[in-house]
Amino acid sequence: MKTMDARPRWSKGAKLLTLLTIVCACLAITSAPPWTALAQERQTTTAQDVQTPQVRDLPLGPIEQAEKDGTALHISLKDLTKLALQNNLDIAISDTNEALYQSRITQTYGYYDPTISLYLNAGRTKSANTNITNVSASGFNQRDAADWNFSYEQNVTSGGGFTVNFNSRRSDTNQLAALFTPQYSVASSIQFTQPLWRNRRIDQTRSNIQLTNLDLKTNDSKFKQSVTNTIASIQSLYWDLVGAIRDYDIKRQSVELARIQVDQNKLKVQIGTAAAINITEAMATQASREIDLIRSRQNILTTENSLRNMISKDRNADIWRQIIVPTDAPDFLEYNVGMDQAIQEAMKNRPELEQYEIQLQQNNISYQSQQNSKKWQFDVTGTFGSTGTAGPQSYTADGLPKIQPQFVGNILTAYKTMFTEGLTNWSVVFNVQIPVKSRSIDSQLAQTQIARQQLLMNRTKTEQNIIVQVRNAVELLETARQAVETARISRELAEQQLDGETKRLQAGMSQNFLVLQRQTDLAAAQGSELQALIGFRKAIINLQQNMYTLLEANDFEVAKTDGKSTPAFR
């Protein structure tokens, strides 16, 4: 039995062709440059070309342009705050309220201003003889009179008032019954009225004075509150501007790196190591970052305008043509306040609670005034006066004088007799008024009591809100402190990564793009650290504002004015 051999049989021609192929391949390998050398040559060429790309210049930023134009205003946080407080319109408006309340107090005290009255009169009357007691020889009665009177009136703070009168008169008559003509008559009197029950301790005028004084205290509290809020807004905007400027620098650097990446990708496409789509992707990234840069620039301008609005009340002031350049850096300053201490400071200093206390005092004054209206009115009025008379002597048919010698003379004699002849008069009057029903006053008293209860409940609610605000502010400060520490660590790690990548590039183990990426990461980490520091500073401002210690913390003292000029801050 025969077996079949499965191995292929090579013909002589096939063997010869295989041998020639092997020889040609060996010759090609020995004559071609090594593949590793070609790769190294391409890598060297790429690295050398990428390290020196052509980058277009970016336009100047707002701060750089201001420095070039000479419109930059370098200013510290405290100087900016002081400038804003002196020129802020809200504060100026609040300050005019004090002048308004001072004027109201002066108006209320006007009730106690004295009044002087002068009265002059001259006249003549004629009438027919109708009575034997006033008959005249001429067939008619004629009387000429001239008066000059003086009075002084003034209310006093005890609820009463007094009046002083001084009257003088000269009269001529043709009546036969007159003992002397002309006749000079003078009279003086003083009258004092004092409430003994109703209106003795308080009346409408005194309650209005007390209420207006409390309104003035309320205005002072609101003024300080306005100043504190203004300081908080100014300083927060200042740090926002610092952050906006730094954010612009970071985004500008990011745009520059994007442009470098575009140029790198173009070179790679030219030497055949990258596809054309990489250029499109890099240009899209560049365009996106340029949009972010434009928005960042607008953020600087918007923050600048907000600061200018708080600084200047004159739209034509130089500040509107200047660029504010902050000189303070948000360095970390340790600030520790315990929760209990912060709450205690807030409860002691918060203007809202002070204003509630003032409102409760006003409510109490209104209640006392309403209760006073229910009392019996029991007033006493005392009057004392004196009179004087003088004129020419007249005689009887027997030649006897009709008038006593001390009354003979002119007006000066009348004044003398007023004080020497005992022609006095006096009176004491008691006036009592008893209210039978006082439903209207009872209703007012009930409403005042309800208003007091509402004030007490609202004050309790406000106290709870203040405690929550202070707790949130303390916790926010602690969170901001932790964010600063974390951002610092992140920035240090980014520095280490950049240092390591730079050393790898120098050793030929990395690429330029990776170093640039590490630079971007470091810039972002620096920006995050800056924002964390700004957040910490703003958290301090927020806590001080909630504790109402912002004025003292910034060493500001408010020197109030008379309301005619802007208050001074030093």
Residue 45 has pLDDT above 90, yes or no: no
Q: Are residues 291 and 184 in the same domain?
A: no
Claim to verify: residue 99 and residue 163 sit in the same structural domain: no
Contact criterion met (CB below 8 Å) for 163 and 151: yes
Phi, psi of 408 (to 5 degrees): -90, 125
Per-residue pLDDT band at 557 (split at 50, 70, 90): low
CA angle 440, 443, 448 (to 5 degrees): 125
Taking the C-alpha atoms of residue 287 and residue 27, their distance in angstroms, rounded to an integer, is 53
- Cis before 182 (ω within 30): yes
CA dist., res. 419 & res. 435, Å (int): 43
Whether residue 423 sits in one domain with residue 393: yes
| pLDDT of 175 higher than 80 | no
- 489/556 same-domain check: yes
Question: How much of the chain, in percent, has pLDDT values that exceed 70?
Answer: 85
Cα separations (Å) of 128 from 2, 143, 174? 192, 12, 12
Domain boundary among 416, 437, 458: 437
> Residue 23 above 60 pLDDT?
no
**Banded model confidence at residue 32, pLDDT cuts 50, 70, 90:** very low
Co-location of 225 and 170 in the same domain? no
- Picking from 159, 163, 161, the residue whose alpha carbon sits closest to that of residue 204 is 159
Q: What angle do CA 485, 486, 492 make, to 5 degrees?
A: 90
Q: What is the pLDDT of residue 560?
A: 52
pLDDT attached to residue 261: 77
pLDDT at 46: 37
Asked if residue 519 has pLDDT above 70, the reply is: yes
Domain end among 414, 437, 460: 437
Cβ-contact 235, 321 below 8 angstroms: no
Q: In a 3-state reduction of DSSP, which class is residue 2? A: coil
The predicted pLDDT at position 47 comes to 34
Please report, for the domain that includes residue 501, its CATH number: 1.20.1600.10
Indicate whether 40 pLDDT > 60.
Answer: no
234 within some domain: yes
pLDDT at 258: 81
Residues 232 and 355 in one domain: yes
pLDDT, tens digit, 9 for 90 and up, residues 234-281: 999 999 999 999 889 888 888 888 888 788 778 878 888 778 887 888
Q: What does the pLDDT average to over 523-551?
A: 91
Separation of alpha carbons 204 and 369, rounded Å: 7
Most confident of 16-25, 76-85, 397-406: 76-85
Percent of all residues in the chain with a pLDDT value above 90, rounded to a whole number: 41
Please tell me whether residues 432 and 356 are part of one structural domain. no
Within a domain: 554? yes
Above 80 in pLDDT, residue 206? Answer: yes
Residues 6+ apart with CB under 8 A from 234: 80, 81, 84, 85, 307, 310
Same domain, 326 and 196: no
Residue 164 has pLDDT above 90, yes or no: yes
Phi, psi of 431 (to 5 degrees): -120, 125
What rounded mean pLDDT belongs to the chain?
Answer: 82
Answer yes or no: is pLDDT of 88 > 50.
Answer: yes
Are 448 and 422 part of one and the same domain? no
Which residue, chain included where needed, has tokens 């970016």?
A: 58
* Neighbouring C-beta atoms of residue 249, cutoff 10 Å: 17
CA distances from 530 to 251, 264, 487, 523 (A): 14, 31, 8, 10
User: Is residue 421 classed exposed, middle or buried when 0-12, 13-18 and 19+ CB atoms within 10 A define those classes?
Assistant: middle
- pLDDT at residue 565 in the model: 43
Question: Is the pLDDT confidence value at 516 over 80?
Answer: no
Positive or negative, the CA dihedral 289, 290, 295, 298 is positive
Q: Which pLDDT score, from 0 to 100, does residue 178 have?
A: 74
**Model pLDDT for residues 316-332, shown as the tens digit of each residue:** 888 888 899 999 888 88
Structure tokens at 459: 């004050």
Q: State the Cα angle at 93 between 301 and 566, rounded to 5°.
A: 85
Cβ atoms within 10 Å, residue 516: 18
Q: Is residue 52 part of a domain?
A: no
DSSP helix/strand/coil, 254: helix
pLDDT of residue 300: 94
Between residues 8 and 237, the one the model is more confident about: 237
Q: Report the domain count for the chain.
A: 2
Mean pLDDT confidence for 158-162: 92
**What is the Cβ-side half-sphere exposure of residue 341, based on CA atoms within 13 angstroms?**
7
Write the pLDDT tens digit of every residue in 258-269. Answer: 888 788 778 878
Asked whether the predicted pLDDT for residue 25 surpasses 70, the reply is: no
Q: Report yes or no on 56 lying in a domain.
A: no
- pLDDT digits over 338-382, tens only? 999 999 999 999 999 999 999 999 999 999 999 999 999 999 999
What confidence score (pLDDT) does residue 536 get?
94
* Whole-angstrom distance, CA of residue 462 vs CA of residue 357: 12
Mean of pLDDT values over 492-509: 87
Task: Return the structure tokens found at 225.
Answer: 């509150």
Q: What is the pLDDT of residue 103?
A: 87
**Token pair of 76, please?**
């510290």
Query: Do residues 194 and 379 touch, judged by C-beta distance below 8 A?
Result: yes
At residue 102 the predicted structure's pLDDT band, cuts being 50, 70 and 90, is confident
Q: Looking at residue 97, what is its pLDDT?
A: 77
pLDDT of 38 reads 31
In a domain, 537, yes or no: yes
What is the mean predicted confidence (pLDDT) over 160-182? 86
Confidence class for position 563, pLDDT limits 50, 70, 90: very low
* Cα 566 to Cα 53: distance, rounded to the nearest angstrom: 59
232 has a pLDDT exceeding 70: yes
The answer to whether position 512 is within a domain reads yes
Domain final residue, candidates 396, 422, 437 = 437
Contacts 24+ apart (CB under 8 A), 122-128: 122/146, 122/147
Q: What is the predicted pLDDT for the residue at 512?
A: 64
Q: Are residues 424 and 449 in the same domain?
A: no
What average pLDDT does this structure show over 197-217?
A: 91
Residue 120 has which token pair? Answer: 């002059």
Tell me the residue range of the domain where 452 lies. 68-103+206-365+443-569
Type of residue numbered 76: S
Based on the domain organization, do 251 and 125 belong to the same domain? no
Residue 61 lies in a domain: no
The whole-angstrom separation of Cα 208 and Cα 107 is 10
pLDDT at 150 over 80: yes
Q: Is residue 193 part of a domain?
A: yes
In the prediction, which pLDDT does 365 show?
95
Question: Looking at residue 319, what DSSP letter applies?
Answer: G
Across 450-461, average pLDDT: 96
348 and 430 fall within a common domain: no
pLDDT at position 286 = 85
Whether the per-residue pLDDT at 73 is higher than 50: the answer is yes
Coil/strand/helix, residue 382: strand
pLDDT, residue 277, reads: 86
pLDDT-based confidence at residue 130 (cuts at 50, 70, 90) = confident
